[in-house]
Structure 1
Amino acid sequence: MATAKTRQKILQTFLDLLSEHPYEDVSLPMIAAAAKVKLSDMRSAFASKLQLVAAFTEKIDTAVLDGVDEDMGDQPPRDRLFDVLMTRIDVLAAHKEAVRALHVAARHDPALALDFNRLEVRSQKWMLIAAGIDVSGVKATIVAQGLAVAFARVVGVWLEEDDEGMPRTMARLDKELDKGGSFMKRLNGLERAAKGVRSLLKRISDRPARRRPRADEDDGEPDLSDKAPAGA
């Protein structure tokens, strides 16, 4: 079983190699050799490159969650989310070239992009939690998916920006959150409509059924058949 120290060493080696090589060129044996660990330790620590990417995203999540500004608690949700996502960019800055390699790899490999997306959606759920935005169930996944796509666009701008003040990155994040706000309003509207439909269906299903009387049952109406005049 690989120790925590060995896992950390392997992960850092992976990130260092990504800073110099394309993602597809970085193999597990290459990582093991560069980290000076046995292949058995490599296998015990990380069975695939995707597991290494997952460990990287978890590392970033942890750093962001540890750095949440408690003083932002009284700010609007959008401002809190902006602050959290910019904190995420700040944390990613130490690994910018590795992030670039992952970004390029995802653009050229749709299957890999889906794998990365799954990891990013999970991370963005935690970013929403860090911002104090309460979403749960299916809605949480929908919102996190939208946020994952939006943040990927922001990262694309950040990767091409050299200004340390990141004006273009912040402007793009503003734009994406504005679009996300419109999306949330539509989603909330759909959610309210769906709740209304469910409530209506429940009322209908709870309503006592009207039983149609059988032909041989007395329905309370007088039987006039034997009183009709002959030949009528």
Structure 2
Amino acid sequence: MSEQDFEAALIDAAFALGAQAGWRHVSPAAAARHAGLDLVRARALFPCTGTILKKFGRLADAAALSHALQEGSVRDRLFDSLLRRFDFLQARRLGVLALMKALPSCPPLAVALAEMNIASMGWLLEGAGVDATGLTGAVKKRGLLAVWLYGLRAWAADESLDLTATMAAVDSALARAERFATRFSTESAPKAAPEPELPAPL
């Protein structure tokens, strides 16, 4: 089994175990045992539970960026990438829902996930052709994170096969973010200096 396949198998096992027993019972060793994977190799690739979530996030980003739209508006491209990311979560739905349920009782894990998600939003922005560097980029990443979290709440309650409610929530949140960005750029644009008054003719 290649390293990539081993990592994917352990991650899937971790989310399956989280769905079955709750995330407080999830660890790299427990996930490896659950899937019958080699513990020594698991130890080398997954030093802690946080590594599972970090690599899961990278796989989700890869799914979102793979075959990403190169045409259309920025909003269309971001919508496509976000929905691809939700499709990735959907394949591990019960485990992700169990993780979301566990976060309030584990603040350090929630903080770590928030930081990982901010980094992910930067990749999605860059994938859509939006500069996500510097102070302005940091604001954009947090804005897209707000869109993602709004969609995530809708996804958690969305039991439809085609994720209709999730798509509607993401579209609505992106529309609000677009309006805000347009207003912000207009208000922050430098105002033209007033034209000097000409002296009255003699």
TM bracket (short chain): 0.7 to 0.9
> What RMSD in Å do the two structures reach over aligned CA positions?
2.3
Calculate percent identity across the aligned residue pairs. Answer: 25
CA contact (8 A) 2:14 2:27 kept: no
Highest CA radius of gyration, 1 or 2? 1
Letter of the structure 2 residue corresponding to residue 34 of structure 1 = H
Letter of the structure 1 residue corresponding to residue 100 of structure 2 = H
CA contact (8 A) 2:154 2:166 kept: yes
| Partner-residue secondary structure (3-state), 2:20 | coil
Per-residue Cα deviation, 1:109-165 (whole angstroms, up to 9, x for no partner): 332211101111111111112222233212222211221232122112112111223
Which of 83, 87, 108 pairs up with 1:86? 83
CA 1:30 to 1:85, structure 2 compared with 1: closer, same or farther past 3 Å?
A: same
Paired with 1:49 and 1:146, the residues of 2 have a C-alpha distance of 28
Q: 1:1-232 to 2 correspondence within 5 Å? A: 3-70=3-70, 73=71, 75-188=72-185, 192=189
Paired with 1:80 and 1:55, the residues of 2 have a C-alpha distance of 24
Paired with 2:96 and 2:11, the residues of 1 have a C-alpha distance of 14
Number of equivalenced pairs: 190
| Partner-residue secondary structure (3-state), 1:47 | coil
CA 1:110 to 1:187, structure 2 compared with 1: closer, same or farther past 3 Å?
A: farther
Structure 1: unaligned runs, 5 residues or longer:
197-232
TM-score (norm 1): 0.72
CA 1:99 to 1:106, structure 2 compared with 1: closer, same or farther past 3 Å?
A: same
CA 1:107 to 1:67, structure 2 compared with 1: closer, same or farther past 3 Å?
A: farther
Structure 2: unaligned runs, 5 residues or longer:
192-202
CA 1:111 to 1:182, structure 2 compared with 1: closer, same or farther past 3 Å?
A: farther
CA contact (8 A) 1:105 1:112 kept: no
Structure 1 runs (4+) deviating above 4 angstroms are: 189-193
TM-score (norm 2): 0.82
